[in-house]
């Protein structure tokens, strides 16, 4: 989920000592995190306890100035409606979801965006999930990378990159979690990552990692590109939005 500043000596990074490699990758994460906008392509593969594998792919944009994250994806195999194209925008106040007009019609609603506040996410029958900006991983890499190993050269979306194995300091990550959430946060911390740093621009072009929770293994691969050149994300107007709770009320209410 800045701007392209060139990194000096990027081409010699693989020859540096371990400590310098940590600094090099941390600096790349800091430069990437400073981008005002960035595009991303996200693939998530989940293995359920029964062995079923589900893959989800989405493309999106991130606007750090206004703290907006938009992603477009397809939900396959839904009962009666098949594959559904979904647009989601995460904002500081909540999440906006746009479903196809045919789906909204089945719900007896006009072709408008559903909205739910951040505090309501996951508590409604609509099933709107919490949407996490995958580029938040930049902060973890920047702040708590404990070791970095150069693996080799690779191409990402046509860009020459250098691939690194990055281990995160689990204790430091847990210490940064809000009070009372360390237990749940521990299960969401990746044990290690693969990070691809651009040879010419010194920015992160791809991150691969996985987490495990309650028997579910989730693998993430996020490609980031067009730093500083992403499109403006526009929130729907009040007239284009309906409260998700009014579409399908919360069963606890």
Q: Are 208 and 20 within 8 A, CB to CB?
A: no
Q: How far apart are CA 4 and CA 31, in angstroms?
A: 8
Q: Quick one: pLDDT at residue 211?
A: 79
Q: Quick one: pLDDT at residue 245?
A: 80
Tens digits of residue pLDDT in 154-199: 999 999 999 999 988 777 777 766 555 445 545 556 768 999 999 9
Structure tokens at 231: 């499109």
Average pLDDT rounded to a whole number, residues 205-233: 86
Q: Quick one: pLDDT at residue 119?
A: 74
Q: Is the dihedral of CA 249, 102, 43, 10 positive or negative?
A: negative
Tens digits of residue pLDDT in 119-130: 766 555 454 555
Tell me the CB-side half-sphere exposure of residue 137, using CA atoms within 13 A: 28
Comparison of pLDDT for 196 and 91, the residue scoring more? 196
Q: Quick one: pLDDT at residue 155?
A: 97
Using DSSP's 3-state secondary structure scheme, residue 45 falls into: strand
The maximal CA–CA distance of the chain, rounded, in angstroms, is: 62
Domain boundaries, the chain: 10-36+134-225, 39-131+233-247
Q: Which of 35-39, 74-78, 99-103 has the highest mean pLDDT?
A: 35-39
Tens digits of residue pLDDT in 61-77: 999 888 899 999 887 76
Q: Are 204 and 224 within 8 A, CB to CB?
A: yes
Average pLDDT taken over every residue of the chain? 79
Prediction pTM value = 0.77
């Amino acid at each position: 989920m800045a701007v392209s500043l060139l990194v000096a000596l990027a081409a010699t990074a693989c020859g540096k000592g371990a400590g310098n490699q940590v600094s090099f990758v941390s600096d790349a994460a800091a430069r990437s995190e400073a981008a005002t906008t960035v595009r991303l392509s996200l693939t998530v593969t989940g293995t359920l306890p029964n062995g079923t594998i589900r893959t989800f792919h989405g493309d999106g944009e991130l606007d750090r100035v206004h703290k907006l994250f938009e992603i477009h994806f397809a939900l396959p195999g839904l009962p009666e409606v098949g594959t559904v194209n979904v647009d989601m925008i995460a904002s500081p106040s909540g999440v906006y979801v746009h479903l196809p007009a045919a789906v909204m019609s089945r719900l007896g609603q006009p072709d408008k965006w559903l909205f739910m506040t951040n505090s309501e996410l996951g508590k409604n029958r609509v099933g709107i999930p919490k949407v996490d900006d995958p580029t938040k991983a930049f902060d973890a890499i920047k702040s708590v990378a404990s070791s970095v190993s150069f693996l080799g050269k690779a191409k990402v979306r046509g860009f020459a990159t250098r691939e690194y194995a990055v281990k995160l300091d689990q204790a430091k990550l847990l210490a940064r979690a809000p009070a009372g959430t360390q237990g749940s946060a521990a299960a969401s911390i990746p044990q290690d990552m693969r990070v691809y740093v651009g040879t010419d621009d010194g920015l992160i072009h791809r991150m691969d990692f996985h987490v495990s929770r309650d028997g579910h293994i989730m693998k993430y691969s996020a490609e980031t590109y067009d730093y500083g050149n992403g499109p403006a994300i526009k929130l729907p107007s009040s007239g284009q939005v309906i409260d998700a709770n009014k579409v399908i009320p919360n069963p606890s209410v």
